[in-house]
Chains A and B, each alone.
Chain A
Amino acid sequence: MTFDGHAREGRTKSGALPRREFLRHASMVAVATAAAGTVPGMWHAFARGSPDVPRLDVDGAVAHLARTAEGLVAAGEQSHAPSVWTYRLGERAWTKTADGAAFPSGTTLNAVAELRGSLYAAGSITQVVDTYPVVDGKKTLEVEVHETTPAVFSSSDGAGWQQVVRGIPGSPFGFLSAITSARGGLLAVGSEFLEPDVGEPSGLTAIRSRDGRRWDRMPLEGVVPPRHGEVSLVARDRGDYLLGTNGVDGAELYLLTGSASRWEPLPRPDREGRVTFTAAGPVAGGFLLAGVDQQARAHFWRGGRHGWRRVGSPKGMSSDATVLDFQRVGRDLVATGYSGTGGFATEVEG
């Protein structure tokens, strides 16, 4: 869609733009024109005004967001099927661009990232690889053996997806829980299982790619694998990366800065150590970190390498929501996750 297209779609039936929309588009036109019509210029334009990203509600969970040149892409599940939604800047609604039909059966999408105009969604594929009968008293049960393998899919438009990672050498079983663009390429992290059907992770796994096609294993130097655990979040603030792990013993945070190859442990913001960190996003002065305690209460902190400061729930967030991702859009943040009523992507005040 062209920039003019956005403006046209923003008009009312009578052809007139509401005052707020008019001012916003006027601002966009000015800045985008100044930026010679480049795509970053469009984001720059939105940064000066409020983009008013519409709310997305689904029957399921919106796991993760990626910012693209044209807007936002969200990945998650709806009605137990993998799903992708896109939002183009200036439009009034999200569009569902892919559902279960776009992915192999048993696909779960946990995260999405953008690299040089292409989208990459990370997760897993669970398939039945064997069945056998088991006598249980007078009944005979048909027992299924499931195999879960890490997977990455790529897409140019959010609608058609091709699998580019099918299992990881040395870690055939497991899942990828996060993917992010990093240092000119992509970094995906997840957990591995030792055998089919056992769903308790035995360790962490990470792969990287410069072009989205060839992927290599990489060590997560400095990260202590959590017991039965997983990577619960990877967030980026310019050159800093925040990684959260969550296991039965508790959760930990790590920071990778500059050109360093080793993740450094960060002090936890909660003294009790009973909070699971679920999401983080860039805000002024570091990260906004979201967590949930054992009583399902949400907690938020701001900070990073210089420590954490407890803050209240971002405005616009329902009290029973579990945040799974934050993405900065202009001055605001878009949060994704799920609550008692289903999954959501919604603008909050960061």
Chain B
Amino acid sequence: MCGSASCCIAESRLVAFSRINGVPLKYRFSSGWGFVTVRSKPGFQRKLNNWMGTLSLYSKTYGGKNFNSITWIGTAGAFTRKRGCHGRGRALDLNYIRWNNYTLNIFRGAHGASKRGRRRRYLAVDACCRQYFKFTLDGWYNAAHTNHIHIDNHTVPILNRGSRSDTVFVQSVCNNFNGAGLAIDGDWGPGTQSAFAAINRKWGFRTAECNPFRNKAHYREWLALVMKHGFKNAAAGYYKSSC
């Protein structure tokens, strides 16, 4: 972890880009949304490109005709001169996704939308982020993230019961896809464990064979279930796990 005064020295090794896998980036200026160029480390940019490819594929495949193509995405920033992953060019803040006929306005708090379908689409995007980026900090994480999703590639993407970031996400998934009725408190207690087991039974994710806490491929499969159900706007069990 970078906590050092010199963490921003490697600025010369950053790459500037205004598109992620061909999708334009926009920034919310005081006058409105406008195209923007951001900077990051090359490795992080490659991950962003892969992430965009997966997001496009899943949204088009499971979301239907409104999700045929991603027109542009909104960002609140990537590299900035400070400690942490933003200061190392390994983070981006995501606040808007515009498909051909659907808008996910994260900036306006889509995670807390009154319509369940919108919350499910938010969780589908959230899950896609988690396939590539640990940490992913979303609207349930804390008040600072109600208007954007922070993504960074600080460490290996894997599910962790001890992580508040992961726990609020799992609790939200259980509530929005399986009616768990959990308090989203970031504490993986018996209630969360029980709800996690229930949703896994529902969509056929066999935890006896598949371990999302210790196996990257198994975690990706679990997240893929969230993406499929989220873009389809379907309750848990509409699709079955291959794991």
Residues of A within 8 A of B (CB): 60-61, 63-64, 76-77, 80, 108-110, 123-124, 126, 132-137, 141, 143-146, 148, 175, 177, 191, 194-203, 225, 227-230, 232, 246-249, 276, 278, 292, 294, 296, 322, 324, 338, 340, 343
Q: How far is the CB of A214 from chain B (nearest CB, A)?
A: 25
Q: By the criterion CB–CB under 8 Å, are A76 and B5 in contact?
A: yes
B 61-99 binary contact with A (CB < 8 Å = 1; else 0)? 000000000000000110011111110000101000000
Nearest neighbor of B90 in chain A, beta-carbon distance: A199
A228 close to B93 (CB less than 8 A): yes
User: Chain B nearest CB: distance from A153 CB in Å?
Assistant: 15
Closest chain A residue to B5 by CB distance? A63
A-B contact sample (14 more), CB < 8 A, given A195-B164, A246-B81, A249-B76? A109-B5, A126-B1, A134-B156, A143-B156, A197-B154, A199-B3, A199-B84, A228-B80, A228-B150, A229-B82, A247-B82, A276-B82, A278-B81, A324-B5
Q: Judging by beta carbons under 8 Å apart, are B81 and A198 in contact?
A: no
Let me know if B155 is at the binding interface, CB within 8 A: yes
Pick the most buried of B3, B91, B137, B164: most chain A CB atoms within 10 A of its CB: B3
Residues of B close to A200: CB separation below 8 A: 84-86, 91, 135, 137, 150, 152
Is there contact, CB below 8 Å, between A194 and B3? no
A133 near B84 (CB under 8 angstroms)? no
- Is the CB of B144 closer than 8 A to any CB of chain A? yes
The answer to whether B84 and A201 have CB atoms under 8 Å apart is yes
CB nearest to A195 among chain B residues? B164
- B113-154 with Cβ < 8 A to chain A: 135, 137, 141-142, 144, 148, 150, 152, 154
Report Cα–Cα, A304/B83, bound state, in Å: 26
Chain B residues closer than 8 Å to A136, beta-carbon distance: 156, 216
**Least CB separation from A225: chain B residue:** B144
Q: Are A338 and B81 in contact, CB atoms less than 8 angstroms apart?
A: no
Interface size on B, residues (CB 8 A): 42
> Are A133 and B214 in touch, CB under 8 angstroms?
yes
Q: A132-B214, A148-B3, A200-B135 are in contact. Are A248 and B141 (CB under 8 A)?
A: no
Q: Which residues of B contact A249 (CB under 8 A)?
A: 76-77
Among B1, B8, B93, which residue has its beta carbon within 8 angstroms of that of A197? B1
22 contacts between A and B (CB under 8 A): A60-B6, A64-B5, A108-B3, A109-B5, A110-B3, A126-B1, A132-B214, A135-B216, A143-B156, A144-B155, A197-B135, A198-B135, A198-B137, A199-B152, A202-B142, A227-B76, A227-B148, A228-B80, A228-B91, A229-B82, A292-B81, A296-B11
Are A134 and B85 touching (Cβ within 8 A)? no
Q: Is A322 touching B91 in the complex (CB atoms < 8 A)?
A: no
Does any Cβ of A come within 8 Å of B193's Cβ?
no
> Would you give the 0/1 interface string for B3-20, flagging 1 where the beta carbon is closer than 8 Å to chain A?
111101101100000000
Contact: A141 with B156, CB < 8 Å?
yes
Interface of B toward A, CB cutoff 8 Å = 1-6, 8-9, 11-12, 39, 76-77, 80-86, 91, 93, 135, 137, 141-142, 144, 148, 150, 152, 154-156, 158, 162-165, 214-217
**B1 A146 Cβ-Cβ under 8 A:** yes
Measured CB to CB, the closest approach of chain A to B122, in angstroms, equals 19
A322 to B6, CA, bound (A): 10
B86 / chain A contacts, CB cutoff of 8 Å: 200, 228, 248
CB distance from B157 to the nearest CB of A (A): 9
Main secondary structure of the interface of A (DSSP, over half): strand
- Given known A-B contacts A194-B142, A198-B165, A249-B77, A134 and B216 have beta carbons under 8 A apart: yes
A225 to B91, CA, bound (A): 19
The answer to whether A135 touches B5, judged by C-beta atoms less than 8 angstroms apart, is no
* A61-B156 contact in complex given A249-B76, A278-B81, C-beta closer than 8 Å: no
Specify the chain A residue showing the minimal Cβ separation from B39. Answer: A294
Q: Which residues of A contact B158 (CB under 8 A)?
A: 134, 143
- B167's nearest neighbour on chain A, judged by CB, is A195
A residues in contact with B11, CB < 8 Å: 296
A274 nearest CB neighbor, chain B only: B80
Known A61-B9, A248-B93; judge A199-B214 contact (CB<8 A). Answer: no
Residue contact B164 to A61, C-beta cutoff 8 Å: no
Q: How far is the CB of B242 from chain A (nearest CB, A)?
A: 17
B1 and A338: CB pair below 8 A?
no
B216 touches A248 (CB 8 A): no
**Minimum CB–CB distance for B144 against chain A, Å:** 6
B26 CB to nearest chain A CB (Å): 15
If A136-B216, A143-B158 touch, does A276 touch B137 (CB 8 Å cutoff)? no
Contact of B6 among A77, A135, A294 (CB under 8 A): A77
Query: Residue of A at shortest CB range from B79?
Result: A294
**Residues of chain A within 8 A of B84, CB atoms compared:** 199-201, 228
Residue in A196, A201, A225, A276 whose beta carbon sits within 8 Å of that of B81 in the complex: A276
Contact residues in B for A123 (Cβ distance below 8 Å):
3
Tell me the smallest distance from the CB of A340 to a CB of chain B, in Å: 8
Q: Which residues of B lie under 8 Å from residue A294 when comparing CB positions?
A: 39
Complex Cα gap A200–B81 (Å): 13
Query: CA separation between A195 and B214, bound complex, in Å?
Result: 20
Q: A61 to B10, alpha carbons, bound, how many Å?
A: 13
